Amino acid sequence: MDSSKVYKMLTHQYVINDPLHQLFDAVNAISVQGYDEQRRVIYWNEGSELLYGYSKEEATGEKIENLIIPYALCEIVIDAHHSWITKGIEIPASEITLRKKDGSEISVFSSHVMFTNQYNNKQMYCIDIDLTDVRQAQAQALFKEDMLETIFEAIPDLFFLMKADGTILDYHASNKNYLYVPASEFIGKNMTAILPKKVANQFQSHFAKALQQKDITRFEYELSVPQGLAYFEARISHLKEYQQMMVIIRDITEQHKADELIRHQAYYDSLTLLPNRFLALDRLSQILIEAERNNEKAAVLFLDLDDFKKANDSLGHEIGDKLLVESAARLQQVLRKEDTVGRLGGDEFIILLRGLTEHHNALAIAENLLKAFREPFKIGGRELILTMSIGVAVYPKNGRCASDLLRNADTAMYQAKALGRNTYSFFTKEMNTCMQRRFEIEEQMHGALERNEFELHYQAQFNAKNENIIGAEALLRWHNPKLGHVGPDEFIPIAEHTGLIVPIGQFVMKQALGFLAQWQSADQQQYTIAVNLSPRQFRDAELLNFIKTSLSESNISSKYLELEITEGVLMSGQSYIHHALEQINELGIKLSMDDFGTGYSSLSYLRQYPFDVLKIDRSFINGITSSKADYNLVKATIAMSHSLGLTVIAEGVETAEQLQALNKLKCDFIQGYYFSKPIPAMQLLEFSARYY
């Protein structure tokens, strides 16, 4: 039969249902289909078109099994429909997977109803609701549930669901070994009844806090577990709508250990394990607060190991480190537990004494500290003697704040060094004045070269026999607008300490050689110039290159340059010193030992190093005419020097009698106020013109 005729017939036959159809036509969110007794479509609303993809025209007259029933379900659907028509067995509403026009599957919730029309024909209507969104939501929910379960299993945290009063309702633990007690012992019980009292009080306090605020409250606590002492972090969230608490507990033992290590590294010296500068000064501030509150005295002892650098450089850093560790141990043995020993850095230590009394005073402790270092250190099969210098500042007499006390103790320590080391010194106002002067000199010395504040003076040197000028010694002078004239004895050691002696020494070398070129040209004489070198300059890797360059630029032969060095340069015994002196000698530059007789090992140095000239110190020349001992010493020195092939210069000659005595002893050259004080370059040019 023609499909259009079937459509018209079915439409006419079931026209009784028009009002119902009009209702279904108005709802396109739900699929409604009508079927006759042969399962042919008699009604197909817009919702069905949208859901299954068949238009009304395409569907009408087609059997249901040819449209939307999957092949596997066709027989079941046909039998169920037949049983309802013939036996009255209803088809129950259910979820079912049907087929769309494009062949894809769709899940629907299908309800069925049966009508009998005026012609006594039965017709079934199916109402299908799309479950796609529901299925997706269910799948998403299931996925999230699985994902959460996976996350819960992967996270080592413990989760507890509790009542607002702390009663445990449920829990989750990926590893039940993390539980403090088995679940059977805490489910239904209050958490505070399970834990030790101290920890329980913490939880009780934070439960109350969580009830009063919206944010999560957190705290840390420690707990003894079979593995030892462990540290935990608890986070508590109040689920207000359920009147419940969610508690998440995390084991932070490893993090706590790492934090402790970081804190230890921040506050303690890694070598000696003593408090470092930061922690020591913090403790000093606390000690001063206590001392002020209790009207007590306290003291700061600043310690520096004597000549540690020499031992460290000559024996190696490994031995040096062991010396520092052993020194720290000895210091701790002398003190009470409430006192503090700290390491400030290098070979400097600090001791903080609290609650000083008549029986526990700084003087007695300083003496005990020195006594503790009298026994040799036995390290690496060696017995080493190590002494120290101690500076003491007492609160409140020598300062009321940490910085003042530390500075004044440091000042006193330098005074102990000046007293000969291996001793202690208490801070005085006179020291402070001295240190203030030192700080002022150091401050003004920076930039003094750039401001042209340095000037060279020259003291002429004479042949002792004919009194002709043979050369001069270059001597540095400094005039500062703020400080006035500053003597070399005052500023040279500071320049040496700060390292400024290197650029200052280069200035002296260039100026001296430049003047020598001018002087030789003016007088047409082969004068020599003597320049002092300090210990710090020998550590300058560019020293030799600088001397070569300066000689070349000034067009001066190396044989006219004389470098004066003191015993202090040689005392360290470093190989680079010996190497530098050999190179200087190879260049043809003369080497002069200055201030001979004031040291302890000068004779050995004369044998060990390639000296050309020996200068007898003025302290012996001063007594040559009045002291037989000085006369004999100078006589022996000159004779010894000549036997070694050395030229002798006597310093500090101030009288004709001294000159006569030196001539008698066959001294080669002389220098001193008898002929001339150190004078500026232009004055020396005028002065020397009278001697040739």
Query: pLDDT tens for residues 434-480?
Result: 777 888 999 999 999 999 999 999 999 999 998 999 999 999 999 99
Q: Is residue 97 domain-resident? A: yes
Q: Please identify, among 368, 400, 427, the residue that sits at the C-terminal boundary of a domain.
A: 427
Distance CA 59, CA 237 (A): 58
Distance CA 446, CA 501 (A): 11
* Residue 300 · residue 406 · CB < 8 Å: yes
Query: pLDDT tens for residues 338-396?
Result: 899 999 888 999 999 988 876 568 888 898 999 999 888 888 778 888 899 999 999 99
- pTM across the whole model: 0.51
Indicate if 208 and 357 belong to the same structural domain.
Answer: no
The CATH number linked to 464 is 3.20.20.450
Q: Is residue 633 domain-resident? A: yes
End-to-end CA distance of the chain: 153
pLDDT at 57: 92
* Residue 460 · residue 472 · CB < 8 Å: yes
Q: Is residue 117 domain-resident? A: yes
Q: From the CB of residue 564, how many other CB atoms can be counted at a distance below 10 Å?
A: 20
Question: Average of pLDDT values for 666-689?
Answer: 94
How far is residue 519 from each of residues 227, 459, 509, 686, measured CA to CA in Å?
87, 13, 15, 10
Indicate if 13 and 51 belong to the same structural domain.
Answer: yes
- Pick from 458, 453, 449: nearest CA to 681: 458
The CATH number linked to 328 is 3.30.70.270
654 is written with which tokens? 């101030």
Q: Is residue 432 domain-resident? A: no
* Residue 651 · residue 440 · CB < 8 Å: no
pLDDT at 259: 73
pLDDT at 16: 46
pLDDT at 14: 45
- Number of alpha carbons in the 13 Å side-chain half-sphere of residue 179: 17
The burial class, CB within 10 Å (0-12 / 13-18 / 19+), for 543 is buried
Element spanning 27, H or E: none
Listed in sequence order, the DSSP H helices in 124-226 are 132-154, 191-194, 197-212
Indicate if 415 and 389 belong to the same structural domain.
Answer: yes
Q: Please identify, among 61, 95, 130, the residue that sits at the C-terminal boundary of a domain.
A: 130
pLDDT exceeds 50 at position 19: yes
Q: Is residue 262 domain-resident? A: no
Q: From the CB of residue 629, how many other CB atoms can be counted at a distance below 10 Å?
A: 9
Element spanning 117, H or E: none
Element spanning 229, H or E: strand 228-239
Indicate if 304 and 423 belong to the same structural domain.
Answer: yes
Query: pLDDT tens for residues 226-261?
Result: 777 888 888 888 888 888 888 888 888 888 787 777
pLDDT at 7: 46
Element spanning 376, H or E: none
> Which residue bears the tokens 């508590």?
236
Query: pLDDT tens for residues 93-102?
Result: 898 999 999 9
Indicate if 171 and 235 belong to the same structural domain.
Answer: yes
Domain extent for 48 = 3-130
Indicate if 241 and 102 belong to the same structural domain.
Answer: no
Coil, helix or strand at residue 301: strand
The CATH number linked to 226 is 3.30.450.20
Indicate if 532 and 673 belong to the same structural domain.
Answer: yes
Indicate if 419 and 294 belong to the same structural domain.
Answer: yes
Query: pLDDT tens for residues 43-83?
Result: 999 999 999 999 999 999 999 999 999 999 999 999 999 99
Residues 6+ apart with CB under 8 A from 452: none
Indicate if 512 and 476 belong to the same structural domain.
Answer: yes
Q: Is residue 411 domain-resident? A: yes
pLDDT at 190: 87
* Residue 250 · residue 159 · CB < 8 Å: no
Indicate if 163 and 118 belong to the same structural domain.
Answer: no
Q: Is residue 203 domain-resident? A: yes
Q: Is residue 243 domain-resident? A: yes
Element spanning 255, H or E: helix 253-267
pLDDT at 574: 64
- Looking at the structure of the chain, the number of domains it has is 4
Indicate if 120 and 66 belong to the same structural domain.
Answer: yes
pLDDT bracket for residue 11 (50, 70, 90) = very low
Indicate if 537 and 609 belong to the same structural domain.
Answer: yes
pLDDT at 571: 60
* Residue 388 · residue 424 · CB < 8 Å: no
Distance CA 121, CA 387 (A): 124
